[in-house]
Copies of this chain bind each other. A is one copy, B any other.
Amino acid sequence: MSSVKSASAPIYFGSFLVTPQVFHQTPLSFALVNLKPILPGHVLVSPRRVVPRVSDLTPAETSDLFLTVRRVGRMIEQYYGAASLNIAVQDGVHAGQSVPHVHAHIIPRKPADLDPTDAVYDMLDGEEGDVGKALREAQAGFPSDPERKQSRSRFPAVDNEERKPRTAEEMRIEAEFLRREMEKEDLD
């Protein structure tokens, strides 16, 4: 009921077509794997409607989004053998948002996976977590937005040089595995 088996209808994250990255859909939300995850299992959950701010969501969209975050987070934490989750919404450009489409980051955490613990935030706001830049690079030809760029963090990202975007095939395969896991989940 809450999981639609096929992701054949085109799904957009901002202006990006992300259908093969999507592993879970509800009537009002979807979950997708990341091009450049900060840690293994770092995924995003978005409303289907392309709006920039949480305050743009209806109450029904808000409930559906965060019920999906809770359900996806539970699966992700177990599947990746994690012990905690960072859940973060950069709600607006001055909070570090790089794609003007509401999205909650879910990042599974383990003891001592990052040193210090909050390095995850440097990466989230650094180039590592810039889902917009990564997608523009991957899907090419998307114009950069100077205002967005200017207000983004200048904090150096951790081990940025060593990270490469994953291939479409890698993402499709991960999405397929996660889709199967979600189908095993309770719907509550």
Contacts and interface: CB of A to CB of B under 8 A. Distances in A.
Interface of A: 54-55, 57-59, 62-63, 65-67, 69-70, 73-74, 77, 82-97, 107, 109-111, 113, 116-122, 124-126, 151-155, 188
B153 A116 contact: yes
B62 A66 contact: yes
Given A85-B91, A121-B122, A63 B67 contact: yes
A117 B153 contact: yes
Nearest to A74: B55
A95 to B, nearest CB: 4
A70 B92 CA distance: 13
Contacts of A91: 73, 84-87
A113 B96 CA distance: 12
Given A87-B88, A116-B155, A117-B152, 7 more contacts: A55-B73, A82-B94, A84-B97, A86-B91, A95-B107, A95-B117, A118-B121
B95 A109 contact: yes
A104 to B, nearest CB: 8
